[in-house]
Structure 1
Amino acid sequence: MPARTSTVETSPVKTSAAETGPRKASPGKSNIIAARFERAFDADIRSRFFRGLDFAGPEGDPGWFGPGSAVWYVHSHLPTLILGLVGAAYIEGLDPSISWMAYDHSRIPERVDGIPTGNVDPEGAAVRLGHSLSFFIGTAYGSTPTAERLARTVRAMHHTIKGTRPDGLAYDADDPEWLRWNYATVVWGLATAHERYHRRPLRDIDRYYREFVRVGEALGGTDLPATKAEVAECLESYLPRLAVTPIKAFATGPNLRDSKAKPWEPGSAFMDWAARDMLPKWAQKLCLYQPPNPIALRARRATLWTVLNGLHDATGPIREYREAEARVAGGVSAPVAASTAPTAPDPVLTREEVEATA
């Protein structure tokens, strides 16, 4: 893999005041790429999943993390953020309960007359990715009310996800043990992709792990791991209950070779490889991952490193980051809140009611 130029300790990528609004295309190749990306992101993600989210105001509101935070820095690199979510989704699904939660309750499985066919619904997968991006960008850079709204919506959705697996075991998305596993997989995925593929990864990655606990607490998690070592230990402790279900097996490896997704998109064979390549050794054994020979492995990682950083170099941080930076350019009006944990029970809503507020 290409040598990294350096590591950083604190502040996010700096942008000038002129960059706080949408980018202007210019004859340069990088600006053409940036303009195309901005249009695609706006059409496919922002216009559909960022509605009602406030990044530009109120002035001085630091949100949940504020300028100079590790979360602002890590999430400002959108390509590695997306890869991290792909990796998190992969390891998360090694829990059979989560596989069945997705199969029974999400739009990812294709359905005909309400019955899953066993195929992946591309639109459903796109919706899942769009909602994930709006959540992790919104909680990082949005105003405090925006972050709180997103957390309430996700908690409300979790309250509706309950059922029984084919083997008779019940599942419940409000189960504290499930919340802890889900949290650990997400923070592991985002931090691991950042460390491996960001051009200038944080030197103190535990800063990110400590800060990100706020997101897990906002979703109702308790006793959450707060360092890289604690997260690794937490993930491995769940090994006795993990398995590669038929659902997981169908959406990985050889079954993706004919995927119509582009190589760098979720759902492609290459991104499936990238996710499994990031897994801890015990998880790689569980899913029968066999790395290519060392030369091919190095070439694949180098190719992905180049693509991810080349895209980020061309586009820079997305508009939401730049709007948040402008929001606090004159300083913050109050310190970052001490806790994001919910202070009162959520109202009971049906799935239809939750989706109407999303």
Structure 2
Amino acid sequence: MPSSSAILLPSPLQRRLEAAASDFLDPGAGAGIDFAAPPGEPALLPHDSVSWRLFKNPLSLFIGGVAAVILELAEPRVRTGVWEHTSFRDDPLRRLKRTGLAAMMTVYGPRSRTEAMIAGVVRLHGRVRGSTPAGQPYSADDPELLDWVHATASFGFLQAYHTYVRPLSEDARDAYYREGKTTSLLYGALGPPASERELDLLFEATAGRLERSAIVFEFLRIMQRVALLPGPMSMLQDWLIKAAVGLVPLWARDRLELGNAWDLRPWQRTIIERAGSTVDRIVLRSGPAVQSCRRLGLPDDYLYDASWNTTDEARSNGN
């Protein structure tokens, strides 16, 4: 039976939601991953980590992912590498699905398969290099750029959950950043932030390199028109994208010239917050989080304990 904080929807609605969530993590060509196997194999991150709690929420992951890409594309070397060496412009939905699946694997996947996946990504990065329109050389395996990509992704996912789902304690937030170093090293990022203070320092050091680009606005237009959400939920897509822009620090929004047109109205923000907190309680049995819990012999509702933030704070303090 689900815990008091978990939700199981009526069967028809639950099935539709499960199908939609599964479809978004299926990039096609038989690339589906069985997160329930092999039995007992741990993930890169422990099951009691902050990351396991955060990444179960598809709504905040979407918002945080968009915010992360905005910040990534603000850096000219990262922007050129992404825009010239990926299929995002031609097939954005497939690219988003592949990225989403990689994120789920990094947090929940069995360690052996996740390490193999990351090794493949690292090999691919080794072949991506060139120069920006302004003549700056770049390579996708540059640790400095990998630090920025890892930091912006970590920031986006955390801030989306903290802002639109439930506030997290400072200790829980710092614990989340420390957890990220485990996976970042495998990807080749050598100095990603291990706390919010270190993130602020990285933002301060990088701010001068960020710049406005038409590509950022092209990315946002693509995200507005690609068919991401099923049926009547599609009306929320524009709001979710604005919610992502709202996570971008004000100093960065100013540099990118993301003005008030991208602001949510207060009532729209309220709806997203309510949706985020509700989605956080819906047990998606076919999703990576629950399937990975089953792989480790944990109950389906293990990640849906409403008191987990307090537990994480105590653990991060060594209590």
Query: Do both proteins adopt the same fold according to a TM-score greater than 0.5, normalized to the shorter chain?
Result: yes
Which of 186, 192, 196 is residue 159 of structure 2 equivalent to?
Answer: 192
5+ residue gaps, structure 2 = 299-319
Who is 2:187 aligned against? 219
Who is 2:313 aligned against? none
1:327 deviates by: 2.1
Which of 52, 57, 66 is residue 46 of structure 2 equivalent to?
Answer: 66
| TM-score w.r.t. length of structure 2 | 0.80
Q: Quick one: distance in 1 between partners of 2:47 and 2:25? A: 24
When residues 49 and 220 of structure 1 are mapped into structure 2, their CA distance, relative to the original with a 3 A threshold, is: farther
Larger Rg over CA atoms: 1
Who is 2:212 aligned against? 244
Alignment pair present for 1:282 and 2:251: yes
5+ residue gaps, structure 1 = 1-13, 110-120, 331-358
1:292 deviates by: 7.1
Q: Are the aligned partners of 1:61 and 1:328 in contact in 2 as well (CA < 8 Å)? A: yes
Who is 1:355 aligned against? none
Q: Are the aligned partners of 1:173 and 1:179 in contact in 2 as well (CA < 8 Å)? A: yes
Who is 2:288 aligned against? 320
Stretch deviating more after TM superposition (318-327 or 50-59): 50-59
Say how many residue pairs are matched. 293
Who is 1:183 aligned against? 150
| TM-score w.r.t. length of structure 1 | 0.72
Alignment pair present for 1:36 and 2:16: yes
Which of 102, 127, 133 is residue 100 of structure 2 equivalent to?
Answer: 133
Who is 2:115 aligned against? 148
Supply the AA of the counterpart residue of 1:298. P
When residues 200 and 32 of structure 1 are mapped into structure 2, their CA distance, relative to the original with a 3 A threshold, is: farther
Alignment pair present for 1:162 and 2:142: no
Q: Quick one: distance in 1 between partners of 2:236 and 2:130? A: 26
Structure 1 SS opposite 2:26: helix
Q: Deviations over 1:204-248 (max 9, x none)?
A: 211111101112111011122100121122123111111112222
Structure 2 SS opposite 1:163: strand
Who is 1:271 aligned against? 240
Supply the AA of the counterpart residue of 1:157. L
When residues 267 and 167 of structure 1 are mapped into structure 2, their CA distance, relative to the original with a 3 A threshold, is: farther
Taking the TM superposition and a 5 Å limit, the aligned residue runs for 1:315-354 are 315-316=283-284, 318-329=286-297
Structure 2 SS opposite 1:171: strand
1:191 deviates by: 0.8
1:40 deviates by: 2.4
Q: Are the aligned partners of 1:78 and 1:317 in contact in 2 as well (CA < 8 Å)? A: no
Aligned-pair Cα RMSD in Å: 3.3
Q: Quick one: distance in 2 between partners of 1:47 and 1:182? A: 22
Q: What percent identity do the matched residue pairs reach?
A: 23
Q: Quick one: distance in 1 between partners of 2:36 and 2:96? A: 23
Q: Deviations over 1:129-182 (max 9, x none)?
A: 111111111121111112102211221221121112222221111111111111
Q: Are the aligned partners of 1:54 and 1:146 in contact in 2 as well (CA < 8 Å)? A: no
Q: Quick one: distance in 1 between partners of 2:58 and 2:50? A: 14
Supply the AA of the counterpart residue of 2:257. L
1:269 deviates by: 3.8
Stretch deviating more after TM superposition (280-289 or 172-181): 280-289
Q: Quick one: distance in 1 between partners of 2:199 and 2:283? A: 32
Structure with greater helix share of residues: 2
Who is 1:117 aligned against? none
When residues 176 and 44 of structure 1 are mapped into structure 2, their CA distance, relative to the original with a 3 A threshold, is: closer
